[in-house]
Chain A
């Protein structure tokens, strides 16, 4: 507890010395969080999740399979390659892989920047999940369940650990697409733990946050108006008697007022030096990665950054051209984030996780595409206690099914929570007659992926 407080005051000093009243709780004055967490000393204090909706192809990015070329166009009987859609023969990757860094982990030529930071990455090549369809698989990824109403991982983390900067939400979602809001809900957890969404296709904070700026008054005029409101509020409370809600709202008004300035600053990536912005790039995803770093720096617990609108990585056809188009900005921004965090000393306490809801098939679909593949795919982690420079687990010779050191989506959740100092079996919430967990009844911490 005391560690939390000292950390908070440190952040406070970074934020320009907000007074004690500033901690009254911008987003969560009544933060009903769990108690007793972390269970053990955490390796990471923050999580940044880079989400590639649609399911990026492990076979073209991180999981080279020479056997695909050998059996190109065939369907060897040794493996049952059937998925939900009708598929053809094996489709070799059209991209070259070369060993990179000290670790020598092979990385596709599509990802030169990530290749440069490969020694920071723990590449899990043996992921698997339990549903071949986008939405259920995304629910699994986000909530650990295909049921559509469970809390998002970020909400669980916010609920478990609370926020470090009470002037900012504990769980922030950055995406050009608000359509996935069902993925960052708090479900049955108290609603202050739901993800707060910001549109990272915008760079002006007032366009990202609804009602952030008053269009009719400047700050002094608004201060006068707020002073009036607060005088009336205090008079009212004196007459009505002390009340938690009345107090909370008086404080919330003040923090709202200050937030207009604070958020204008924190959310404004244009305040970064040109050189830093150039490192990341200028696409929405680059904005999101850079903003994620700024937010983590200010104490936000959990940031989810979505790549693009809809499900861009869903390459049922024309996968070569699509990847050539899509990879460069993802690669540049994700790698810049790792380097930037490292430079600032934040990488050791910030876990970065990259992946999609599933991967893709080694066999072709529509001639030059790949179908959904929940049986084996790649994700990577970096920083925050993840073991850098490690390729963990393996798929079969065609990259279809995870066979060695298999990591289920529940195992990944358990591991993320573990790195945050949370025992995934202890983070529970009583609802509708039973205790719920992010990992349901499953999940094993992947010790081998931890530094």
Chain B
């Protein structure tokens, strides 16, 4: 549970180096106590050995059943030291083996120094506070500074820049003695831009027309055309879904964390919003708080899936309150991570157990964000208009009925050793269920869909992974303001309780332990980012406050993070090498002025992503050839300075889509429920395939789809033989190759067939030797195998 990084036990530093008593305790004594003594001598144990606890200052000072063990200042009279030294055959600690002499010496020195024990300040976040970078100092961090437009630097080759971006890049190239690459040819450029903006490769005709168009506006027109395509949202939506760790279920879909039948509606919302170029600030605000923003139609609340389909742990009612509360805290932690790394490039989750070791984020900050998510509950909200009171009651009823059904079923199925008690409890729950059912029936008079949804959800509590009634039912996986409480009053059965409209502030859970609540942590924005000292959230759960703070107080950071992501998606490499960590442990930007300038102008242009696309794609840097140049590679092998365009391979979405398109089998319709990638006849674009946290599809696993159980800063790209087995042997490729061959079989002769295949697959005509090669091959082998070979080529999957 203690998420931390340094093995304190490992290093034994000379004590002379230690001046501060508290630091001595924290670095040399406490880790040993925790590792070696707490297992038997902790106040958290039901019966600590010898009645002695040393996880609190008081316990350590008091001693055990046989009296005090520690006399500050007098190591030789302290029995603690005798025990560690194994002097007394009846008192040797720890029993697992004598500690190294240096460690024992540390204890002796510590006792001699008066046994300083900073744990007496039990009400504060602990000694970590001293280590946390001070807020004021923290505010000076580069990523938190305001962004402003920069004057472009002077360059020698002043004819090269096409946009402001280029000046920043060129200045650095020149400083390193490098020259940019020549422009890509028209074929590569239209392929690059089309894959980039729509995820679809251009057809033969599109390539030919673009290559033939010599007008200076041809490229700008192409960009506009691509940005206007509805396929743009499908492409960029998928990028966003990696950030949002989109999936449609949980790792173990249990009775209390079943899968999300309406997750696809969130995916569709993302596609629509991007197509409409909803400003990025609003795009994010809607995902955190659409239901609390004035004038937002209910249909747009689908955006709440960002929080509503996050991974959730199963909470077995037979587990203790502390265990279930820890599980709930894990869920909140995941939301903090998705929001902080995903939207702010900050690793706030590091501060769950202690203040962040490197960034100015305290446990107070952490728990003040956790409170927002502890006051927010994932539910299925109606898509149709419904008055707020009725809806809130419906949501509570759905949760309560599910919980009662679940625990009643648990007690009946496994009555345990107190069958009479279990039966009595179950009967009580059934009685409550009957009462509630009357209310549900009444609701059904006005809203006939509601009882059906309640029944569906309750059934999952009884049987576990139930199939959805229908993924088309008019609901969305979203969130509403209801705090979660864990009721541990019954030692045999722990229950979850939801309180709609009642927000809760969490305490700091000391060292991340839910059973060690510290001072309260009112919901507010992290102190280092907040502009006003009193930034307490006041409306409801605080989701809307949070969303707004991101784009007011933290706007420079939020803009930098998104600009960096978009840059990486366009150019194949980010400016900041750690796109989800802009903190002290992250990488510094390769071009800080460029990043700041773009971020400032992104904000000035109303956070328009389409503006940002244009700005980047019109640059000379983007239009460079991707061909390698030996002289530059020697100086900058990773192309950090952008002396060429980065060549890539298509990701699995673009590859599979390209195969379907070449074969002429693609169903290009937009939106709708997901289907398994392998479902018979599934020829829709890959973004519409089911994404499961429980069993990620083999093909997604093979082709680097990031684990959807957590926010992903970016995709790995691997090239493996198992991928090639899919290409060479899978029914998918065989079927598509056959369909592709079928498309051209009507051509008058072999050569015409081959030419038609080249045009469909590679968007060009074959050369004479390629024709010869094909004809030779086809003398022995059938056309569909040739078609498959073309689909398997590097050229087809190359993204220049």
Closest to A222 in B: B728
Inter-subunit contact A256/B647 (CB<8 Å)? no
Q: Which of A47-55, A300-308, A336-344, A437-445 contacts B (4 or more CB under 8 A)?
A: A437-445
Report the bound CA distance from A342 to B722 in whole Å.
33
Q: Which of B71-79, B136-144, B315-323, B367-375 contacts A (4 or more CB under 8 A)?
A: B315-323
Inter-subunit contact A149/B694 (CB<8 Å)? no
Closest to A224 in B: B781
Report the bound CA distance from A87 to B627 in whole Å.
70
Inter-subunit contact A236/B795 (CB<8 Å)? yes
Q: Please, which residues of chain A bring their CB within 8 A of the CB of B730?
A: 210-211
B10 proximal to A (CB < 8 A): yes
Q: Please, which residues of chain A bring their CB within 8 A of the CB of B701?
A: 194
Question: In the complex where A236-B798, A240-B798 touch, is A252 in contact with B319 (Cβ < 8 A)?
Answer: no
A98 proximal to B (CB < 8 A): no
B681 proximal to A (CB < 8 A): no
Report the bound CA distance from A448 to B97 in whole Å.
10
Inter-subunit contact A212/B729 (CB<8 Å)? yes
Shortest Cβ gap from A130 to chain B (Å) = 7
Question: In the complex where A80-B47, A131-B323, A149-B707 touch, is A243 in contact with B728 (Cβ < 8 A)?
Answer: no
A85 proximal to B (CB < 8 A): yes
Report the bound CA distance from A239 to B730 in whole Å.
29
Closest to A435 in B: B5
Inter-subunit contact B707/A187 (CB<8 Å)? yes
Q: Which of A6-14, A99-107, A277-285, A425-433 contacts B (4 or more CB under 8 A)?
A: A425-433
Indicate the member of A29, A232, A242, A255 with the most B CB atoms within 10 Å.
A232
By size class, the interface of chain A is 35 or more
B164 proximal to A (CB < 8 A): no
A 308-339 binary contact with B (CB < 8 Å = 1; else 0) = 00000000100000000000000000000000
Question: In the complex where A210-B725, A240-B800, A241-B627 touch, is A221 in contact with B1 (Cβ < 8 A)?
Answer: no
Of the candidates B7, B96, B417, B718, the one whose C-beta lies within 8 Å of that of A441 is B7
A16 proximal to B (CB < 8 A): no
Report the bound CA distance from A30 to B720 in whole Å.
9
| A-facing residues in B670-701 (Cβ within 8 Å) | 693-696, 698, 701
Inter-subunit contact A182/B694 (CB<8 Å)? yes
Q: Please, which residues of chain B bring their CB within 8 A of the CB of A25?
A: 721
Report the bound CA distance from A430 to B5 in whole Å.
10
| A-facing residues in B46-60 (Cβ within 8 Å) | 46-47
Inter-subunit contact B718/A231 (CB<8 Å)? no
Closest to B733 in A: A211
A203 proximal to B (CB < 8 A): no
Question: In the complex where A27-B720, A80-B47, A231-B773 touch, is A434 in contact with B350 (Cβ < 8 A)?
Answer: yes
Report the bound CA distance from A208 to B730 in whole Å.
14
Q: Please, which residues of chain B bring their CB within 8 A of the CB of A233?
A: 793-795
Q: Please, which residues of chain B bring their CB within 8 A of the CB of A17?
A: none
For the A-B complex, the count of residue pairs with Cβ-Cβ distances under 8 Å equals 243
Q: Please, which residues of chain B bring their CB within 8 A of the CB of A87?
A: 416-417
Q: Please, which residues of chain A bring their CB within 8 A of the CB of B792?
A: 229, 253
| A-facing residues in B1-17 (Cβ within 8 Å) | 1-8, 10
Report the bound CA distance from A248 to B627 in whole Å.
17
Question: In the complex where A187-B707, A256-B721, A441-B4 touch, is A148 in contact with B729 (Cβ < 8 A)?
Answer: no
Of the candidates B5, B720, B790, the one whose C-beta lies within 8 Å of that of A29 is B720
Report the bound CA distance from A228 to B797 in whole Å.
16
Report the bound CA distance from A86 to B7 in whole Å.
38
Inter-subunit contact B694/A179 (CB<8 Å)? yes
Inter-subunit contact B418/A86 (CB<8 Å)? yes
Indicate the member of A136, A226, A316 with the most B CB atoms within 10 Å.
A136
Inter-subunit contact B586/A211 (CB<8 Å)? no
Question: In the complex where A211-B726, A249-B794, A259-B721 touch, is A84 in contact with B350 (Cβ < 8 A)?
Answer: no
Closest to B358 in A: A433
Inter-subunit contact B359/A29 (CB<8 Å)? no
A133 proximal to B (CB < 8 A): yes
Report the bound CA distance from A87 to B491 in whole Å.
13
Of the candidates B323, B628, B721, B773, the one whose C-beta lies within 8 Å of that of A243 is B628
Report the bound CA distance from A365 to B417 in whole Å.
7
Report the bound CA distance from A23 to B39 in whole Å.
48
A39 proximal to B (CB < 8 A): no
Report the bound CA distance from A214 to B725 in whole Å.
9
| A-facing residues in B695-743 (Cβ within 8 Å) | 695-696, 698, 701, 704, 707, 709-710, 716-726, 728-731, 734
Closest to A428 in B: B5
Majority SS at the chain B contact face? loop
Of the candidates B584, B647, B721, B786, the one whose C-beta lies within 8 Å of that of A252 is B721
B785 proximal to A (CB < 8 A): yes
Question: In the complex where A432-B349, A435-B5 touch, is A149 in contact with B709 (Cβ < 8 A)?
Answer: yes
Shortest Cβ gap from B5 to chain A (Å) = 5
B583 proximal to A (CB < 8 A): yes
A88 proximal to B (CB < 8 A): yes
Q: Please, which residues of chain A bring their CB within 8 A of the CB of B320?
A: 84
Inter-subunit contact A179/B695 (CB<8 Å)? yes
Report the bound CA distance from A232 to B776 in whole Å.
14
Shortest Cβ gap from A343 to chain B (Å) = 32
Report the bound CA distance from A367 to B717 in whole Å.
54
Q: Please, which residues of chain A bring their CB within 8 A of the CB of B773?
A: 228, 231-232
Question: In the complex where A26-B721, A182-B694, A224-B781 touch, is A191 in contact with B716 (Cβ < 8 A)?
Answer: yes
Shortest Cβ gap from A32 to chain B (Å) = 9
Question: In the complex where A240-B798, A260-B725 touch, is A440 in contact with B323 (Cβ < 8 A)?
Answer: no
| B-facing residues in A169-191 (Cβ within 8 Å) | 178-179, 181-182, 185, 187, 190-191
A237 proximal to B (CB < 8 A): yes
B347 proximal to A (CB < 8 A): yes
B363 proximal to A (CB < 8 A): no
Inter-subunit contact A434/B5 (CB<8 Å)? yes
Shortest Cβ gap from B797 to chain A (Å) = 8
Closest to A253 in B: B724
A28 proximal to B (CB < 8 A): yes
Inter-subunit contact B347/A88 (CB<8 Å)? no
B251 proximal to A (CB < 8 A): yes
A74 proximal to B (CB < 8 A): no
Closest to B95 in A: A404
| A-facing residues in B765-799 (Cβ within 8 Å) | 770, 773, 777, 780-781, 785-786, 788-790, 792-795, 797-798
Of the candidates B252, B359, B785, B795, the one whose C-beta lies within 8 Å of that of A217 is B785
Indicate the member of B46, B316, B725, B786 with the most A CB atoms within 10 Å.
B725
Shortest Cβ gap from B581 to chain A (Å) = 5
A250 proximal to B (CB < 8 A): yes
Report the bound CA distance from A29 to B721 in whole Å.
9
Question: In the complex where A231-B773, A406-B96, A441-B6 touch, is A86 in contact with B728 (Cβ < 8 A)?
Answer: no
User: Can you name 15 A-B pairs with beta carbons within 8 Å?
Assistant: A25-B721, A88-B417, A192-B720, A216-B785, A222-B728, A232-B795, A245-B649, A253-B721, A366-B414, A408-B39, A430-B585, A432-B350, A433-B586, A434-B5, A434-B357
Other A-B pairs, 16, CB within 8 Å; known A146-B330, A235-B770, A441-B8: A27-B721, A28-B720, A30-B719, A87-B417, A147-B3, A148-B251, A192-B718, A211-B722, A226-B728, A246-B794, A249-B649, A252-B719, A252-B720, A257-B724, A366-B414, A425-B10
Binding site for A on B (CB under 8 A): 1-8, 10, 35, 39, 46-47, 95-97, 251-252, 311, 313-314, 316, 318-320, 323, 326-327, 330, 341, 347, 349-350, 357-359, 414, 416-418, 492, 580-581, 583-586, 627-628, 647-649, 693-696, 698, 701, 704, 707, 709-710, 716-726, 728-731, 734, 770, 773, 777, 780-781, 785-786, 788-790, 792-795, 797-798, 800
Give me the 4 closest cross-chain CB pairs, A-B, nearest first.
Answer: A256-B724, A86-B416, A433-B347, A433-B585
Binding site for B on A (CB under 8 A): 25-30, 80, 82, 84-88, 128, 130-133, 135-136, 145-149, 167, 178-179, 181-182, 185, 187, 190-192, 194, 196, 209-217, 221-222, 224-226, 228-229, 231-233, 235-237, 240-243, 245-246, 248-250, 252-253, 255-257, 259-260, 316, 364-367, 404-406, 408, 425, 428, 430, 432-437, 440-442, 444, 447-448
